[in-house]
Amino acid sequence: MTVRILNCDVLEGLAQLEDESVHCVVTSPPYWGLRDYGVDGQIGLEATPAEFVARMVEVFREVRRVLRKDGTCWMNLGDSYLNAKGEAGGVDPKQPARRHGLRPQDVAIAGIKRKDLIGIPWRVAFALQSRGWWLRSDIIWSKPNPMPESVTDRPTKAHEYVFLLTKSERYFYDAEAIKEQARY
């Protein structure tokens, strides 16, 4: 078995891979508006959710190219809330450690109000589905001990989504390998 690590921009790395050469992709793209990794052009700092979704579609076009017809793609993606303070987005001095100094931009988004949960994971999943991906499953990653949030007007987020996406109607999936003993 050969292992090759590519430490580069995702699109540069994917460009180095041959068509249909990957059996399985497991990924957790940067979440929209939550972290600044200090890299020019990084994913996650797009001005709007629509721009973020478009960027994800661009990346997953290449993921689809390198994924085998019988391959699977597992994508973990967290959500964001629209800025509740009504400030122009960017630095949040009260939460620099927890959010790496960022909060989602306070921009006008049709149908989304300040303090709304944006639905980023589903927006990305539906955009990929409309571009030919099979959206086979949404898995809830339950976090029994989630990071505390300072909000007092909604429950703390205690889950994220993992989506199973496939390139074809038929693909490799080993249901036996994930079975667990029933507990009575």
Average pLDDT over residues 58-84: 93
pLDDT of residue 108: 67
Structure confidence by residue, pLDDT tens digits, 107-153: 667 788 888 899 999 999 999 999 999 999 999 999 999 888 888 89
Residue tagged 């990346």 (tokens): 59
CB burial of 16-43 (b: ≥16 within 10 Å; e: otherwise) equals ebeeeebeebeeebbbbbbebeeeeeeb
Model confidence at 53, pLDDT cuts 50, 70, 90, reads very high
